[in-house]
Amino acid sequence: MSDGADITTMNMIQAINSALDVCMARDDTIVVTGEDVGYFGGVFKATESLQRKYGKTRVFDTPINECGIIGVAVGMATYGLRPVPEIQFADYIYPALDQIVSEAARLRYRSAGEYTAPITVRSPFGGGIFGGQTHSQSPEGIFTHVAGLKTVIPSNPYDAKGLLIAAIEDNDPVIFFEPKRIYNGPFDGHYDRPVTPWAKHPSARVPTGHYRVPLGQAAVVRPGEDVTILAYGTMVHVAAGVIAESGVDAELIDLRTLVPLDIETIERSVKKTGRCIVVHEATKTSGFGAELSTLVQEHCFHSLEAPVVRVTGWDTPYPHSLEWAYFPGPVRLAQAIARVMEE
């Protein structure tokens, strides 16, 4: 819900910057930290101008030490601040796992509710920019496994701003992954084609003021009767492009948040269509698609007319030169749709 401010066109980077700006203006306990987030404004410019506006005590650069970044954020949260640390790329988040998993996620439980960790960890994730093995990973499945964490992945500017505001105002730690392939615009599902600017996309019309998109509420991007496709982040655009060319009346659901998960929307859709495809960039084995497939089977078994199909990244280290082949792109998703419709 918006505070009645004007609406303008934004790409995802601008929407994230606007969310941080709006939150910091409303609440002086919010601080932004991370590598290059201050003077430089972040490697993708998501924090541009915030230091000039709010000062070096609220927007400040850190050493190249992810464990330290999150450790300091946990301490700040314990003492009443709402830190929003940025991990420059999701591939760099692993040194911070101990602080995220053992400290931030456990603090409310370990203290019997006396302390909380209202931390929002922002990080660009996923591929599509030829970043290679150290700038392209999708580690969301690691964090959805951790009790006490929430995991959020937007697919468009409107959701990015509203979800980020909701995450920052939440009293528990949130992992906020930003799909960098669509920072500057959507595309038709073909990774190797140029990004299309957000200018004409309806979800790029973003209120300039404060509003929230509730965590745990999926969006039905396209209603349909034949098959349910579950996606999030960049894969929403891949799926939309394939559906447009497939001739199949597919229902496309953008999960938006993986934890908490909107299982009610998923259940309604699959019971209607009788078929389900899950698509994500991350590797297949133990990926979040496995959890989704199990939940669909548990909730919708008697409605299924075909096995649940997963279309994912391959179980290999990230290949730089074969990036387009690694991703679950249009060809593999179209084949999955054809296969599930034949069952």
Domain boundaries, the chain: 7-207, 219-342
- Tokens 């960790």 map to which residue? 117
Q: How confident is the model at residue 227 (pLDDT cuts 50, 70, 90)?
A: very high
Same-fold call for 7-207 versus 219-342: yes
Q: What is the mean pLDDT of residues 306-317?
A: 94
Homologous superfamily (CATH) for 7-207: Thiamin diphosphate (ThDP)-binding fold, Pyr/PP domains (3.40.50.970)
Task: Answer positive or negative: Cα dihedral of 172, 178, 184, 189.
Answer: negative
Average pLDDT, the chain: 94
Q: How confident is the model at residue 4 (pLDDT cuts 50, 70, 90)?
A: low
Q: What is the pLDDT of residues 146-189, one digit of tens each?
A: 999 999 999 999 999 999 999 999 999 999 999 999 999 988 66
Residue tagged active-site, from 135, 210, 237, 280: 135
Structure tokens at 67: 């464990």
In three-state secondary structure terms, 177 is strand
The pLDDT of residue 3: 67
Across 107-121, 128-142, 237-251, 317-331, least confident range: 317-331
User: Residue 165 in contact with residue 15, Cβ under 8 Å?
Assistant: no
- Amino acid (1-letter code) at residue 225: E
Measured in whole angstroms, the distance separating CA 266 from the mean position of its chain's CA atoms is: 18
The pLDDT of residue 123: 98
The pLDDT of residue 135: 85
State whether CATH 1.20.1250.20 applies to domain 219-342. no
Q: What is the pLDDT of residues 197-209, one digit of tens each?
A: 999 899 999 999 9
In three-state secondary structure terms, 135 is coil
The pLDDT of residue 2: 60
Q: What is the mean pLDDT of residues 259-281?
A: 98
pLDDT at 66 over 70: yes
The pLDDT of residue 320: 72
Q: What is the pLDDT of residues 209-226, one digit of tens each?
A: 999 999 999 999 999 999
More confident residue, 129 or 25: 25
145 is catalytic: no
What residues have CB less than 8 Å from 100, skipping those under 6 apart? Answer: 70, 93, 121, 143, 146, 149, 173, 175
What residues have CB less than 8 Å from 46, skipping those under 6 apart? Answer: 13, 16, 17, 20, 86, 122, 178
